Structure 1
């Protein structure tokens, strides 16, 4: 009887197999973005404490660069329907230099994102892994350039922990209101965290609310991370809070925001206190052509051991779509009292636009092509 029943069992399983596969999907996606860039007054070396934060003499550079409007990437994202409004999901996203083929994000295979989670239609999503911080997610719809990686001061605005390792994150949408929160057991910014007996070390967290209804958008968000600042494992306290708003009218969308920041050393002495502002306009001039202008200003109120002039930057982007997937663009920016993207020792040296010694301004111009798949 068992031998005769075996073919029947196999046939029964075969009937269910198509339904199972139909509820599971895996998508390959990505973007490749290359441009020819001109930069003025660029220093010849990376500033560091060892060289007194001296970038060397300034000069002009012309080069092929990867990623202006989008960081070049490829990724896999998948979902599986578990029933009752629940689904499993994952994202694995690699960042690479499309000018040289090298891995980005410190040589990580999936340095942009790598997480797994559950998503419920009514209650929201919980994910686990390397992923974007609450501040990154809450302010994403209020970036004039949609977080263009070349000429928007993202590190100054969002912090070094905009991507964090070892993170648990929640997001949910309830009518026009969105709720976001995350906790990182070790951000991976200055150390691995998760050290026995040192629970606070390299941890980070944030919480935020967003609102979107018709032409109006708004967000409020707070984040903190506690980086390792010396060999003994002592941690600092880096805090940021922001508000942002947007309004769409016709073919135009205006947006802006304010971000408060305070960085303290392990002994609670003040390392940095600043107020960062931004405003922008995106205008769809025609079906294929979009224009973006933006202004950024960082009011550096207190900086331990250093006096700097407040940096400000203006940006312009013209983006022309050849198709739904391919576009040509002109991206340009001018900055005073800093390298582009506020790349100074007061804010960060995360972008590589080191202002040459004795210089007080920098210009960047990029002509590029991007393909999205």
Structure 2
């Protein structure tokens, strides 16, 4: 009888234990057709389906939590980026190239996680940069803005009232040799500084405005991309931004001051300002202007972008977006960050692009 009671009690406890754990499958698919003019020295046009981003990059993932009691939870995220035009994996072909981490979250003291995850540069710009990962946006002028992640990273983020603090430290920031990676694996006993990365953030959010600042420093290593071929070389960014909410309008401004010792023109500044307006509950119009300049160089670029989005529901929307870039000096940056294939204009040339697409969230 006692044994039967024990079995019944154990079986009754199973739903309670299961209910303490939650796992969610989520994702989005965002793609369409894009037109870009003045490609290359010959000035050809191209019509294509982008494989990197539309309004945002396509992805799917799993995230979960388990309640451990006393306000403590275990957490994990496994997130995969993919190219909707061909179905291939993004971030250099990795299965979970966007995020792959596990850790603990305490409702009082914040979250500590381990794995591949966003650096604080991502979290410091997500509110102030209106167009974020739009096919015509800041990623055009600084490609790391599209990939602010680090392998082998320890991360902490906590919110205390309106103040958020966070930091990451990577033992080897990116092991993938591909356009989406930087080929800097680190974790090298012979060179303990190689490919290390750290970032820190301080932010404040009120009910209708917010400010943030972050700093990120990336070390180089043997064979690393971007000219950082030695651990003695660094690529440092100071990031700052702010936003304001006014009825149906959101305003955002910010910038990045960069010192890249792997570049022939190491010192540069990127500034941006944008606005988003909900014309109706279903239709949003957003636009942004970006400016990039390199010190002691004629190289600079202006980028203007606009996007209109109509939401059929909370999950499905259609959009049309356009951008124009004006390169100066020897810069040959493409207006589009939507494809891994080159669509750059001639040095010093300008370029126009436009895209019509669909985004579905699940």
TM over 0.5: yes
**Partner SS, residue 19 of structure 1:** helix
* Other-structure match for 2:351: 362
- Matched residues in 2 for 1:351 and 1:219: separation? 31
Does 1:176 find its partner at 2:165? no
* Other-structure match for 2:269: 275
* Other-structure match for 2:88: 102
* Other-structure match for 2:318: 328
Q: Is the Cα–Cα contact under 8 Å of residues 185 and 203 in structure 1 kept in the other structure?
A: yes
Structure 2 alignment gaps of length 5 or more: 175-181
The counterpart of 2:301, out of the listed 311, 329, 337, is 311
User: How do residues 174-253 of structure 1 correspond to structure 2 at under 5 angstroms?
Assistant: 174-188=160-174, 189-228=182-221, 230=223, 234-235=230-231, 236-253=233-250
The counterpart of 2:48, out of the listed 63, 66, 89, is 63
Q: Is the Cα–Cα contact under 8 Å of residues 335 and 353 in structure 2 kept in the other structure?
A: no
Q: 1:309 to 1:326 in 2, by over 3 A?
A: same
In the TM superposition, what whole-angstrom CA distance separates every residue of 1:316-347 from its partner, at most 9, and x where no partner exists? 0001000110000001100011433588xxxx
The counterpart of 2:110, out of the listed 111, 124, 127, is 124
In the TM superposition, what whole-angstrom CA distance separates every residue of 1:192-218 from its partner, at most 9, and x where no partner exists? 110113111001001111111021110
TM-score w.r.t. length of structure 2: 0.89
**Offset, 1:159:** 3.1
The counterpart of 1:165, out of the listed 134, 137, 151, is 151
**Partner SS, residue 14 of structure 1:** helix
**Offset, 1:253:** 1.0
Q: Is the Cα–Cα contact under 8 Å of residues 223 and 240 in structure 1 kept in the other structure?
A: yes
In the TM superposition, what whole-angstrom CA distance separates every residue of 1:142-181 from its partner, at most 9, and x where no partner exists? 1112x22411123745737611100011001111111110
**Partner SS, residue 309 of structure 2:** strand
Structure 1 alignment gaps of length 5 or more: 44-55, 344-348
User: How do residues 146-157 of structure 1 correspond to structure 2 at under 5 angstroms?
Assistant: 147-154=132-139, 156-157=141-142
- Matched residues in 1 for 2:104 and 2:253: separation? 33
- Matched residues in 2 for 1:299 and 1:40: separation? 23
Q: 1:143 to 1:65 in 2, by over 3 A?
A: same
Q: 1:351 to 1:272 in 2, by over 3 A?
A: farther
TM-score w.r.t. length of structure 1: 0.87
Aligned residue pair count: 345
**Offset, 1:62:** 0.7
- Matched residues in 1 for 2:340 and 2:242: separation? 26
**Offset, 1:105:** 0.6
231-240 or 273-282, which deviates more = 231-240
